[in-house]
A and B are shown apart, each in its own frame.
Chain A
Amino acid sequence: MIAIIDYNAGNIQSVRFALNRLGIEPVLTNDEEQLQKADKVIFPGVGEAGTAMSFLKSKNLHQVIPELSQPVLGICLGLQLMCRHSEESNTDCLNIFPLNVKKFSGGMKIPHIGWNTIYNLKSPLFKGCSENNYVYYVHSYFAETEKNTIAETDYINKFSAALQKNNFYAVQFHPEKSSSVGEQILKNFLAL
């Protein structure tokens, strides 16, 4: 069973439909037990960090998510919430990755919207993908690169396109909207 964490954030349908296209019907849930039982957990999200963390806390998911032992994939805001802290509403996050999430600043359009390349790919998550493949981004905040970075992208500065630590995977871009490259990444996650 593939669970998608349902926490009132945007794009949950898009992620669900992307899995449908791969022949999988995921379960949308914020139930502690169901999440623990799932074979894999997807933690999507488009929205605001402070509001999202409050919701997770109200369901005790801030305790549950970091304790999960099956493969977990954070997407976009999901990645940011898996970090230590976000500048957005000065929010303390789940601290799976010891990173601070910052807002882009300096001379270029924000949000970073559109197709950009990923490089320095270092994970089975990118099996079958090539250096400088294009993926779709929509975000104003980013996580810097560090030892858990498994893919990088440049926009204003270099940032973590993807992170991995043990069973926790996270991508800043939207695989569910990234055409065939995104589909490959989702397939790779499901095959872990």
Chain B
Amino acid sequence: MLTKRIISCLDIKDGRTVKGINFVDLRDAGDPVELGKRYADEGADELVFLDITATHENRKTLIELVNRISLNLNIPFTVGGGISSVADVSALLNAGADKISINSAAVRHPELVSEIAARFGSQCVVVAVDAKKTNGIWKVYLNGGRIETELHLEDWVKQLEKLGAGEILFTSMNHDGTKNGFACEELSRISEMISIPLIASGGAGKPEHFLEAFSIGKADAALAASVFHFKEIEIKNLKKYLAQNQIPVRL
């Protein structure tokens, strides 16, 4: 049976992990490779490396890092941050990334999603969608939530599927950082609307929240960063908890 996936997200700045506090037992908690391996050993099903600086000058550092991650990691990983062209995607995939994640560039140039899918296959195209609900309406935001667009979340997600996106990574800005749970109601609506996998993001605080994302939100995968990074939730324990609650997971 296909399992629900737990995805750990690592923020990368200048080729280094933005540090967690509780990884004193790692030789170098700033090394994305070492931290990534650690998550893989703990049972993470996939990793996302998000380059939060994503400047042009840092591109070479990122490519070298992706190469090192791929050489050392035996589970799939996605790389995101600052991707705006087919050439960017090509460089990351050639360095060994399994998937890439695009966000703002997809809104600015929707045809980019189709171009990447046609060239490398839909399976490697994760489109990240940041959205916020205001007065009952979900709108898509850009640049880490700083710029509001005119796009309605559900229309955009449907369009992305048509354009050839392989997966949708939906972050609710209303929930992100709150640790009060994922946007389960909206997740469920989106999940039933599309026939490609949906990754829930934003709001994880307790194991129960992951259970809700799968059972109520009907998400195919759930992503979190800080709760794993600061060891508030151990992935091994989280997966045991989900299995006890009839969610199929890889143990």
Contact check, B71 vs A177: say whether CB atoms are below 8 A apart.
no
**Interface bits B180-205 vs A (CB < 8 Å: 1, else 0):** 00000000000000011100000000
Contact check, B96 vs A115: say whether CB atoms are below 8 A apart.
no
Contact for A114 among B3, B71, B98, B124, CB less than 8 A: B3
* Count of residues in A whose CB is under 8 Å from the partner chain: 37
* Count of residues in B whose CB is under 8 Å from the partner chain: 31
Contact check, A109 vs B196: say whether CB atoms are below 8 A apart.
yes
Q: Does A78 contact B (CB under 8 A)?
A: no
Please give the distance in Å from A116's CB to the nearest CB on chain B: 5
Q: Does A146 contact B (CB under 8 A)?
A: no
Contacts of B142 in A (CB 8 A): none
Contact check, A116 vs B70: say whether CB atoms are below 8 A apart.
no
Q: Does A43 contact B (CB under 8 A)?
A: no
Contact check, A13 vs B195: say whether CB atoms are below 8 A apart.
no
Contact for B74 among A10, A117, A178, CB less than 8 A: A178
Binds B, one of A16-24, A26-34, A54-62, A65-73: A16-24
**Interface bits A46-59 vs B (CB < 8 Å: 1, else 0):** 11100000000000
For A12, the closest partner residue in chain B by CB is: B94
Contact check, B74 vs A177: say whether CB atoms are below 8 A apart.
yes
Binds B, one of A93-101, A120-128, A159-167, A179-187: A179-187
For A111, the closest partner residue in chain B by CB is: B123
Q: Does A112 contact B (CB under 8 A)?
A: yes
Contacts of A176 in B (CB 8 A): 74
